Structure 1
Amino acid sequence: MRRPRGVWALALATLLLAGCSGADEAPPDITVSGDPGAAPTVTYITPLDLSSTYRATVWPGTGPELVDDKPILLDYWIEDGTDGSLVRESYSTSPVTRTLTKADLGTDLYETLRGQDVGARLVQATPGTGTGTSAHPNVTVVDVLPTRAQGQKAPSARDDLPAVKLSSQGAPTITATGGKAPTELITQPLIRGTGTQVSASDTVTVQYTGFSWKTGEAFDSTWEQGIPVSFSLQDVPTWSEALVDQPVGSQVMVVVPPTYPLGATQSKALKDQTVVFVIDILATSTPQGAGS
């Protein structure tokens, strides 16, 4: 979730960092500013001269601690420390899913993230090594995003909709009602987030499970691996209709009659059935030029 602005965020929006660097080397003077959920502004004197990796916490997380070998969701901003130019970033596209291992993240980023909590913003600066983008010193800012909905429980769902139960990790199951399936699209918030509202042209990052209305059995789920996925709502018009204006951090139940197209999520086996999706909205971004 792209965390809302709070008192702690305002207090830490601009922070002069003093992190860990080499024992005989003064830490670099790096300032990171910006609100949670937004791309950071990073200020330092170029060219950045480092002989060892520097890392610091811009603000701590308030969510669960990251666990080795488990998926994590990250927004990132990487600059070339020689001139401050942007190398690449995810804030204008969608966050990336990685596994908390040295093999997936590399030793430096793994050490920066290890022991941190969801919601943290971190900065690391690495000296130039190797070739390509690694030939120059890099400054990286990372936001650790939740991999499940976070917010306030919504008012009780309608009695004619399936009951939802969540595992300790957040994976949903449903209990079929045994009742007649609705003929219209239904969107029922289960958890209300406080992040950015979804727009029709957005690329969303979600966890979801799809169920049969009739049996309650799951037919598709990101929770099998616990890895969020990102896609354009324009590719799934039914989801677009259901998720527009829902805030990031929400969990939403969407009941889809067979008369509604499901795009890439369509299952031939369920072609004539009503299906139920339980969707955790983790992030959203509007492509450049959309709506202009």
Structure 2
Amino acid sequence: MSAAVATPRGRSTGAPGARSVRRGRRALGGLAVLGALVLAVAGCTPTTAPEPGAAPTIEVAGDFGIRPTITIPDGFTVGETSTATLVTGDGPVLVDGQSVLADYLAENVTTGEVVADTYEGLPEIRTFSVDDLGQPLYDLLEGATIGSRLLRVELGTDADPNPHVLVLDLLPLRAQGEPLEPLPAMPTVTLADDGAPTVAIPDAAPPVSVASTVLIKGAGPQVTLGQSVVLQLVAVRWSDGAVADSTWGVAPRAVALADLPTGLLAGLVEQTVGSQVLVVVPPADGNGQDTLVYVADILATGDVAVGPSGTEGQPGGDPTAGATDAPTG
């Protein structure tokens, strides 16, 4: 049987007889659509038998975290569903029940139609479980490490004779970049092995205006007004050091910048993806009640709307916490 093969971190060869799949729009159904597609494939038989001879290859070009370019040779046939690891990440292995932050592109092999695409918006926040992902996608991710790029090529079926190709990036769940020295007199931050921060409040009066310092400088794109972001964050009250809000141990949070308190917004705009930023927000620029110390890891940014309760696959802020909600009055 012929099987699809990908070129890790390679380039499209541009050889005669090959076509590059076009850039497409973000699909509304997300991983739910992919899960349904994969499940439909899993229980069906291919509509055509594989042809003998040397198999042409699907090539995937582009760096991890950047929208890939998929090149499919003319006459390419899929003889069996196959998977491959194109880039092996140096992060931890996924464990059951943990959060997954994934960017992915899925294409119809025959027509080049985009089935799903998150790279033009925000990555999806999911849980590594069979219930959330479905068995085939769970199997694809099982044993994978954060920072990996994975490939799945799926058979056509009697109901849908066209095969599909999926490229998926497992994105970091914590800040990644260059550690920097914090500004003096700011709260101190220590990190657990998984990146979760613990904040120590200094024995001093809180600042009367917004103050921020970059603890880790990421190399990703810059956050701009009007966008939405995916964050890992903790918010701690200056008065007693109590945690007012945290995504750690729950899931990263997708939120529109416009829905953040003005002080936190000021601390995040113009920072870069991959960065960890400490922002001290007095009541007037925050929730109206407490001076809050935020430690925010910026995991992604995109020109896409996110509602207060999140979009499909994008958990929003906890409306009871008050730490990431702008005051209404």
Instruction: Please say whether Structure 1 and Structure 2 have the same fold, judged by a TM-score greater than 0.5.
Output: yes
User: How do 1:35-74 and structure 2 match up within 5 A?
Assistant: 35-45=63-73, 49-74=77-102
Identify the residue that residue 105 of structure 1 maps to in structure 2: 133
Distance 1:69 1:47 in 2: 41
Distance 2:264 2:119 in 1: 22
Deviates more, 1:30-39 or 1:69-78: 30-39
Is residue 257–residue 265 contact of structure 2 (8 Å, CA) maintained in 1?
yes
Using structure 1 for the length normalisation, give the TM-score: 0.80
User: How do 1:1-292 and structure 2 match up within 5 A?
Assistant: 12-14=9-11, 29-45=57-73, 49-129=77-157, 136-158=162-184, 160-225=185-250, 227-236=251-260, 237-260=262-285, 262=286, 266=287, 271-287=288-304
Distance 2:241 2:162 in 1: 54
Letter of the 2:296 partner, please give it: I
Distance 2:207 2:216 in 1: 22
Note the C-alpha offset of 1:52.
Answer: 2.7
Note the C-alpha offset of 1:69.
Answer: 2.7
Deviations 1:209-253 (A, max 9, x none): 11101111101111131x111122122243332112211111111
- Aligned CA-pair RMSD: 2.7
Deviations 1:104-139 (A, max 9, x none): 2223222222222221111111123486xx774221
Is residue 104–residue 169 contact of structure 2 (8 Å, CA) maintained in 1?
yes
Distance 2:270 2:214 in 1: 11
Distance 1:65 1:255 in 2: 34
Distance 1:33 1:187 in 2: 38
Deviations 1:242-275 (A, max 9, x none): 1122111111111001111x4xxx4xxxx33211
Note the C-alpha offset of 1:150.
Answer: 1.5
Letter of the 1:282 partner, please give it: L
**What is the number of residues matched between the two proteins?**
261
Deviations 1:135-172 (A, max 9, x none): 742211101101111222211442x2222122222222
Note the C-alpha offset of 1:81.
Answer: 2.3
Is residue 50–residue 78 contact of structure 2 (8 Å, CA) maintained in 1?
no
Is residue 182–residue 214 contact of structure 2 (8 Å, CA) maintained in 1?
no
Deviations 1:168-191 (A, max 9, x none): 222222122131110111111111
SS in 1 for 2:277: strand
Note the C-alpha offset of 1:286.
Answer: 2.8
Note the C-alpha offset of 1:38.
Answer: 1.9
SS in 2 for 1:259: helix
Deviations 1:71-112 (A, max 9, x none): 121001111223111112111111112222233222322222
Distance 1:277 1:82 in 2: 48
* Residue segments in structure 1 that go unaligned for 5+ positions in a row: 1-10, 17-21
CA shift in 2, pair 1:122/1:256, >3 Å: same
Is residue 61–residue 70 contact of structure 2 (8 Å, CA) maintained in 1?
yes
Is residue 189–residue 252 contact of structure 1 (8 Å, CA) maintained in 2?
yes
Distance 2:50 2:192 in 1: 45
